[in-house]
Amino acid sequence: QVSAALKEGRVTPTELCQRCLALIKSTKFLNAYITVTEETALKLAEESEERYKRGQPLGILDGIPIAVKDNFNTAGIETTCASKMLRGYISPYNATVVQKILDQGAVLLGKTNLDEFAMGSGSTDGVFGPVRNPWSYSKQYKEKSVPKSHSEDKESDWVITGGSSGGSAAAVSSFTCFAALGSDTGGSTRNPAAHCGVVGLKPTYGLISRHGLIPLVNSMDVPGILTRCVDDAAVLLGSLAGHDPKDSTTIQDDFKPFELPNLTDVSKLSIGIPKEYNAPGLSSEVLALWSKAADLFKNAGAKVVEVSLPHTRYSIVCYHVLCTAEVASNMARFDGLEYGHRSDVKDSTESMYAATRREGFNDVVRGRILSGNYFLLKQNYEKYFVKAQKVRRLIANDFMKVFRSGVDILLTPTTLSDAAPYTEFIQEDNRTRSAQDDILTQAANMAGLPAINVPTALSERGLPVGLQFIGRSFQEKQLLTVAKWFEKQVQFPVIQLEEVKRHDNGVFQHQKSASFS
């Protein structure tokens, strides 16, 4: 809708950009952005405006403000991964996905906050501080909050965004941008999408280039897409997917961008409900919503079957071993020599490296590196690493069996419950939390399958709850079509942010609640 408005001249790219920048400033307390590229954004908006004036926009994305998670390289802009290790690091190049959106004329607003090096499920462990969920400040949440006495700090009950792409999710959810890029290794795009009430798409591994995405787990990382509606996600997917010679893990098949059909007849669809996803700790609310959704499909004529993915409960253990092992390897590049933080220790190369890494990494990262090294020791290699790789195959096979039996899409919850208050979340350490929160999203990364979170309803506390659809490899069109149908059925409410009302303006108000496609 915004794109149409830009084309018709009802609003100009610079106006749009300025509104977003102003909104970013007024929502600074959310801590969603690490770097706001104000000058660059305005320049890009001006260039876009020129193109619209000439009647030659580059495409749907021309002039659309987009935010990018801070673990994607952006030329000339600081890329920190929310870590001391990369503070001051100015990327010399654009990640392929960043280049692609810029080539389409998108206006890059800034880099969003995350957990340090994308390790975590709360966006609370970055060096720039935690990200706050915009819903903490929504009318819906405040209405349901137990009234507190005046002496208690009103600020203390804000809830987390989920992670690790929390900044991106918060940015999209609070209307400061129309789409954001995240990354997904264990659920890092879908988890915050569920908590912030936005659409979070994890594409099939190999569909979108990882060139320029600072790697966590090479065999599972994918760039993720966060938007306010499924159609927007499809548009963004269309711009980003495709083979990249710079990333040899992208498949060579031709990718054709698609528009999503408006599905009306779901009778030919077979939806699978994996029983193991009724995991311990799943809140009764989420369980009820999941059942309701299954019924929704059934009543509309679709075939809804219970299926089994027997190795689900080992997925998180498997992930834990494989992730730490790959992290141990991937983090080895940070030695202070070519880029990033460098310690002042000069006695020897090794001692300089050790000191640099001691100073630059936080507990979470160091913990994973050490665990990874342990699992990769000669005496442990077979026992842990190879064993985990075997279990990975079993998990992937589970999915293959289910899809081969005729099921088209799997429907599962995305998170165990709605977003937790920050003070409660930090009571447990990062690893425990990740193990708990990734349990529903992780397996899709193991098997490389596409998955999407669709915001479904508000919880009793007034916070978003989302449901997840998992599809067959490279069948994003089918996945998104079903997701779009579901989105239309549930009519998830728009967030009512009090601060946002101040910037009310007829035209912009209409755009705020809408998508850009």
Partner 1 sequence: QKLSVEMLDHLERLALVDFRDSEGVERLQKAIQFADQLHEVNTDGVEPMDSVLEDRCLYLREDDVTEGNCAKELLENARETVEEYFVAPPGNIPLEKLEGRKTYLQGS
- Catalytic residue (one of 69, 100, 202, 477): 69
369: contact with partner 1 by CB under 8 A: yes
- C-beta separation of 110 from 249 below 8 A: no
**Which range in 194-202, 314-322, 463-471, 496-504 contacts partner 1 by CB under 8 A?**
314-322
Following CA atoms 197, 199, 204, 205 in sequence, which dihedral angle do they give, to the nearest 10 degrees? Answer: -60
Q: Which helix (H) or strand (E) holds 306?
A: strand 303-307
386: contact with partner 1 by CB under 8 A: yes
Binding residues for partner 1, total number by CB under 8 A: 70
- C-beta separation of 470 from 444 below 8 A: yes
**Is 188 noted as a catalytic residue in this protein?**
yes
Shortest distance in whole angstroms from residue 453 CB to partner 1: 21
350: contact with partner 1 by CB under 8 A: yes
Burial class of residue 401, CB neighbours in 10 A (0-12, 13-18, 19+)? middle
349: contact with partner 1 by CB under 8 A: yes
4: contact with partner 1 by CB under 8 A: no
- C-beta separation of 82 from 113 below 8 A: yes
Shortest distance in whole angstroms from residue 443 CB to partner 1: 12
396: contact with partner 1 by CB under 8 A: yes
Looking at 283, 374, 426, 436, which residue binds partner 1 (CB under 8 A)? 374
493: contact with partner 1 by CB under 8 A: no
Sort strands 270-274 and 222-227 into parallel, antiparallel or unpaired.
unpaired
d(CA 387, CA 81): 31
Q: Which is nearer to partner 1, 30 or 446 (CB)?
A: 446
Q: Which is nearer to partner 1, 270 or 343 (CB)?
A: 343
Q: Which is nearer to partner 1, 248 or 423 (CB)?
A: 248
Looking at 257, 263, 339, 493, which residue binds partner 1 (CB under 8 A)? 339
Q: At what angle do helices 96-103 and 230-240 cross, to 10 degrees?
A: 110
337: contact with partner 1 by CB under 8 A: yes
DSSP secondary structure of 464-502: EEEEEEE--TT-HHHHHHHHHHHHHHH-PPPP-BTGGGG
345: contact with partner 1 by CB under 8 A: yes
- CA–chain centroid gap for 358, Å, is 29
Tell which phi-psi region holds residue 187, choosing left (phi > 0), alpha (psi between -120 and 50) or beta.
left
Q: Which is nearer to partner 1, 48 or 362 (CB)?
A: 362
303: contact with partner 1 by CB under 8 A: no
Q: Which is nearer to partner 1, 386 or 507 (CB)?
A: 386
- Catalytic residue (one of 91, 183, 188, 434): 188
348: contact with partner 1 by CB under 8 A: yes
392: contact with partner 1 by CB under 8 A: yes
C-alpha to C-alpha distances, 127 to 158, 201, 360, 361, nearest whole angstrom:
19, 26, 10, 9
- Both tokens of residue 60? 């749907």
Strand ranges in 351-488 using DSSP code E only, listed in sequence order: 409-413, 451-458, 464-470
Beta partners for residue 225, in sequence order: 181, 201
474: contact with partner 1 by CB under 8 A: no
Looking at 394, 490, 494, 514, which residue binds partner 1 (CB under 8 A)? 394
**Is 69 noted as a catalytic residue in this protein?**
yes
Shortest distance in whole angstroms from residue 392 CB to partner 1: 5
d(CA 93, CA 173): 28
> Among candidates 251, 226, 227, which has minimal Cα distance to 241?
251
Footprint of partner 1 on residues 438-467 (CB under 8 A)?
Answer: 447-448
391: contact with partner 1 by CB under 8 A: yes
406: contact with partner 1 by CB under 8 A: no
Shortest distance in whole angstroms from residue 431 CB to partner 1: 7
Shortest distance in whole angstroms from residue 451 CB to partner 1: 13
**Is 513 noted as a catalytic residue in this protein?**
no
Beta partners for residue 36, in sequence order: 110
- C-beta separation of 214 from 72 below 8 A: yes
State the DSSP code for 507.
Answer: H
Looking at 435, 490, 494, 514, which residue binds partner 1 (CB under 8 A)? 435
Residues that bind partner 1 (CB under 8 A): 89-90, 92, 205-206, 219, 243, 245, 248-252, 311, 314, 317-318, 320-321, 324, 328, 335-340, 342, 345-354, 357-358, 361, 363, 366-367, 369-375, 377, 383-384, 386-394, 396, 429, 431, 435, 447-448, 473
* Active-site annotation, residues: 69, 164, 188
